Structure 1
Amino acid sequence: MNDVTDNNNNDQRPRSPGVLKIMQSILAGAFGVQSDKRRQEDFSHHSPLPYIIAGILFTVAFVGGLIIVVKLVLAGQ
């Protein structure tokens, strides 16, 4: 009887978002085109931790990319 109850509880637990959905939300937020509806959807059913981690990684990669581009441009002068 516990097995049936456990299976019903697992069906009610929200699934974690996929990597593609997290990346799409991070990029849309970074460019300022994230809709309020999508933002609320992202954070209403899921833990914000994957979005925070992805946002930090995106920011580090973005700043690193800018540093590399500036160094390449300045080296060419």
Structure 2
Amino acid sequence: MSDKPTLWQTLLSVLSSFFGVQSEHNRERDFRNGRPVHFILIGLLMAALFVISIILLVRWALILGGA
């Protein structure tokens, strides 16, 4: 049986890479069995969601501040 990372495991791996924490076992699994395109696409999606959430948060703060 292959130890390929599931979509959820890939998502958690990318999220943990945003914070710089990852277990050695998961890192080895990702490099050994993961497909790079999955990590790249999920990483780009998560980065875009992060930027959008920051923009929305700043707009909300400006509205609350009366600007």
How many corresponding residue pairs? 65
The RMSD of aligned alpha carbons is 1.8
Structure number with the bigger relative contact order (C-alpha 8 A, sep ≥ 6) is 2
% same residue: 31
Q: Under a length normalisation based on structure 2, what TM-score does the superposition of the two structures give?
A: 0.81
Moved over 4 A (4+): none
> Which structure's CA Rg is the greater one?
1
Encode CA deviations 1:43-66: one digit per residue, 9 max, x unaligned: 212221101100000000001000
- For structure 1, the residue ranges without an aligned partner over 5 or more in a row are 1-10
Name stretches of at least 5 consecutive residues in structure 2 with no aligned partner: none
With normalisation by structure 1, the TM-score equals 0.72
Contact 2:5 2:29 in 1 (8 A): no
Query: Could you tell me which residue of structure 1 aligns to residue 6 of structure 2?
Result: 18
1:28 to 6, 10, 16: 16
Tell me, in whole angstroms, the C-alpha distance in 1 between the residues paired with 2:4 and 2:26. Answer: 15
